[in-house]
Structure 1
C-alpha cells in the first residue's frame, strides 16, 4: 500500500468496491424502493454499505441539513463576501498572457502548432 493512502481512504475504497460488486443502481438505503427489495437481494447490502460510507464521511444527515438551513437563514455567503462581490468575481476575466522568464525552459503555446515562447534577454530589456 502506498504511503499517501490513509486508512480512511482505504476504508472508502473498500466500501465503494464492495458496493459496486454487489449491485449497481441500487435504491437509497431505507427508501420505499429499498424496503420492497427481497431480503437476500445484493442491492440491499450495497445500499447499506453506501449509507454507512456516507455516514463515515459526512456524519449525521439531519445535522448536515440543519446546518445548511441555519446557514441559509443567516444569509451565509462563502468567506463572508457580499453577493455583489461574488457577482463581480463570476464575471469573465481576460486570458492570462504567457510570459517567458529567465531560467525557465521554453513554454509551448497552446494551439500554437508546436510554437514555443522563449526568453529573449534583448527583448526583456527593451
Structure 2
C-alpha cells in the first residue's frame, strides 16, 4: 500500500522499532520536521483504515456468520484447553475426596534436624534418639 511505501521511504536506514506510537509522549517530543512523526501518523492512519474495513466487513455478515467470526478465537482457545479441563476433577469429585478421612500424619524426628514440637501438646518435643540433649 501507499502508506507502507511512504513509511519505508521516510524511515530510510532506520529500524522500524524506533518509531514511537502516534500520540505518545515520545511522539510529542519529536520535532515537527522529524520524519518519524510522519511515519507514526501514517501507521496510525493505516491501522484505522484496516480497523474500519474489518468493521464494515463484519456489518455485512448475517447474524450467524457474525457470531462465528467474533467467537472464532475464543472457540479455538477453548478447543485447545478442552483436554486438560476434561482430565481435571469436578467440584463434586473433589468434595468426595476431601470428605474421606485419612489417618493423621505420624511425626518422626529426623537426624540432624531440630526437635519437632508436637501439636496440641504444649512443651512436648520429639527428638531423634541420636541427637544431643
Q: TM-score range by the shorter chain?
A: 0.3 to 0.5
Question: What TM-score does the superposition give when structure 1 sets the normalisation length?
Answer: 0.40
Structure with the higher fraction of residues in helix conformation: 2
CA radius of gyration, larger in: 2
Question: What TM-score does the superposition give when structure 2 sets the normalisation length?
Answer: 0.38
